[in-house]
Amino acid sequence: MNIEAYIDHTILKPSTTIGEVEQLCKEAIQYQFAAVCVPPFYVKAAKQLVLNTDVKVATVIGFPFGYSSTASKVKEAEEALADGADELDMVHNIAALKNGDWDYLSKEVSKILVPTRLNDKVLKVIIESGILTDTEIIRSCELYAKHHVDFVKTSTGYAEKGASLEAVKLMRAHLPEEIRIKASGGIRTYEDAQKYVAAGASRIGASASVHIAKEQLK
């Protein structure tokens, strides 16, 4: 398995520096990771750093808690796309979900998809599976399948529980084949990454990407 092709090489800590972004991009090019995932502040810089390579630039929207307004998320998305983002990882409004407001979530993703599709880019919706019930995970998958998002993503890495194989398997069972799954949140070894791919993930979000890639070579 070429695990590198599955990985979004990620740095999202609030204290991230430009030097760290430069190193992230250098590693992504060296190991041929699928994408780098950086804070919105660094999208322009990352785009230049991976220019003329196959590495995509991803960033986050409504991160990490998801409860910012739809209007603010749309603005974030528009700015990120203007700065050169290829992929948007949006945290859906977990507060709305926990209150059973599925209509709000439907309208939210519809509005985020407008600038994303106009720019022919990729939307990943982070559902924060670790703090959802199985029923909530299934209903989220059904909702985002109807809107034809590109990926449903497990986690931000900031909740009390990240990715789990059980959640990925449940998501895969309730999403159409064309909608991919990104597993993230606590994946730190090649063995773990392999298990998530086997469970149905098409992308792995990790900050331990280089370690994972090196383990594959052993």
Q: What is the predicted pLDDT for the residue at 102?
A: 98
Tabulate helix, strand, coil % of the chain (nearest 5). 50, 15, 35
Report d(CA 157, CA 185) in Å as an integer.
4
Q: What is the predicted pLDDT for the residue at 140?
A: 98
- Token reading at 206: 């990790």
Q: What is the predicted pLDDT for the residue at 1?
A: 79
Residue 5 near residue 197, CB atoms below 8 Å: no
pLDDT over 90 at 35, yes or no: yes
**Known catalytic residue at 107:** no
pLDDT in tens, 202-216: 999 999 999 999 998
Q: What is the predicted pLDDT for the residue at 22?
A: 98
pLDDT in tens, 82-92: 999 999 999 99
Q: Among 89, 121, 124, 192, which one carries the catalytic annotation?
A: 89
Report d(CA 13, CA 165) in Å as an integer.
24
Residue 163 near residue 195, CB atoms below 8 Å: no
Q: Is 106 exposed, middle or buried (0-12, 13-18, 19+ CB in 10 A)?
A: middle
Residue 213 near residue 7, CB atoms below 8 Å: yes
Nearest 5°: the CA angle 205, 209, 210 is 170
Phi, psi of 89 (to 5 degrees): -105, 100
Q: Hey, which bits of 92-179 come out as E strands?
A: 122-126, 151-153
**Known catalytic residue at 182:** yes
pLDDT over 90 at 217, yes or no: no
Q: Among 56, 121, 124, 182, which one carries the catalytic annotation?
A: 182
SS3 assignment, position 22: helix
**Known catalytic residue at 121:** no
Report d(CA 90, CA 93) in Å as an integer.
9
Report d(CA 124, CA 156) in Å as an integer.
11
Q: Is 46 exposed, middle or buried (0-12, 13-18, 19+ CB in 10 A)?
A: buried
Query: pLDDT tier at 47 (50, 70, 90 boundaries)?
Result: very high
What domains can be seen in the chain, in order of their start residue? Answer: 3-217 (3.20.20.70)
Q: Hey, which bits of 66-177 come out as E strands?
A: 87-91, 122-126, 151-153
Residue 175 near residue 181, CB atoms below 8 Å: yes
- Taking the CA atoms of residue 178, residue 206, residue 19 and residue 33 in that order, the dihedral angle to the nearest 10 degrees is -50
